[in-house]
Structure 1
């Protein structure tokens, strides 16, 4: 079985705790980092905020059975990595505002800067059941297609990125976009008049200037493995 460098285990632990610090996961959730075309590293199977510097991840094959002790929904990661060579990291998150929208079978629209990154909007997986078989996980990956996020009705979301830094940052962006969407719904102002135009959306999809990295720094500040 392929092994992973210490630095990859460390980065994954920091990412897991950052997601917990940002209230994007709770007792449930997981994240992973691609190692090569055939393997990825998934975080320890425990609440992400409780992962310690001693909790190494597990190397998982992109194709084949899950190793012992790995959570069943890690099949989602397998199916995404198999289809998307551009994806270097996957975050399975449980953000509260996204959860509210998903119950209405809605996903956030591009109404402000953070929402622009998912334009015209993240995909919706309209099935509340846990994904613990390969067929369902494959269907979810197909529904995600080339997008960077998919919202799961009554079951959180999945966010992908070229790196863990990007995937963690986009996870926070997705929840912030949902917060804005829910707030506008409460005010009765969630019509097209509050949408960004196509030009405005494109202009806000900025990644230069350490956009993702600054969010990573914010969420990982004070982490025991960054001090």
Structure 2
């Protein structure tokens, strides 16, 4: 394996454990990073928090069938990479507050800084069934369109970024936005929301915002020590 491929695999494993450590996945969930224009690298097919240091990841081609042993929903990643050349990482997550909000038929509105990254709000896939076909995956990717996340009613969410690091950070942001939305709903007071201009200005990575959150989410990981 090339040095680049091994570095990417390490990032996938670190990301997997970060998602598990912070409660953004449980037994279910997966993450991946684009290798190039024709393939991506997906985490091992096991609970992400249990991915071991050095455990092999799997190369998945953008064309052709999923490799043996790869989870059926990884076709979601494949369809997003096909449609979005700007995407370098995908996280399929099960964040609990986002899940609760979704069964109300809602996704978080941009009401605070971290929510502004999804302005005006993530689309909702209003279908609670497991996603196991190429047709379903293509439909989800089309509904995602240019957004940074899509919420699946009663079935978690998918976040995307220019890198896997960004996709993981956005998964944490999405859950925090859902927390704020649920808190606002409990007051029965009409909450404020970010305007287009405010979201454009606030949803920035300047000031090492991405790097600092990635450092927080991955602190103490076995493959980053030393």
Pick the TM interval, shorter chain: over 0.9
For residue 90 of structure 2, give the secondary structure of its aligned residue in structure 1: strand
CA distance in structure 2 between the aligned counterparts of 1:115 and 1:102, rounded to whole angstroms: 16
CA distance in structure 2 between the aligned counterparts of 1:65 and 1:200, rounded to whole angstroms: 43
Matches within 5 A, 1:98-117: 98-117=98-117
Deviation at 1:213, TM superposition (A): 1.1
Matches within 5 A, 1:82-97: 82-97=82-97
CA distance in structure 2 between the aligned counterparts of 1:202 and 1:68, rounded to whole angstroms: 42
Correspondence for 1:38? 38
CA distance in structure 1 between the aligned counterparts of 2:44 and 2:158, rounded to whole angstroms: 18
CA distance in structure 2 between the aligned counterparts of 1:146 and 1:7, rounded to whole angstroms: 28
Deviation at 1:165, TM superposition (A): 1.2
CA distance in structure 2 between the aligned counterparts of 1:41 and 1:4, rounded to whole angstroms: 12
Deviation at 1:8, TM superposition (A): 1.1
Check whether the contact 1:109–1:121 (CA below 8 A) recurs between aligned residues: yes
CA distance in structure 2 between the aligned counterparts of 1:199 and 1:83, rounded to whole angstroms: 27
Q: CA RMSD in A?
A: 1.6
CA distance in structure 1 between the aligned counterparts of 2:114 and 2:25, rounded to whole angstroms: 19
Equivalent pairs counted in the alignment come to 225
Matches within 5 A, 1:210-221: 210-221=208-219
Deviation at 1:206, TM superposition (A): 1.6
CA distance in structure 1 between the aligned counterparts of 2:121 and 2:3, rounded to whole angstroms: 37
Find out whether 1:145 has 2:136 as its counterpart. Answer: no
Runs of at least 4 residues off by over 3 Å: none
Find out whether 1:206 has 2:204 as its counterpart. Answer: yes
Query: What TM-score, normalized to structure 1?
Result: 0.96
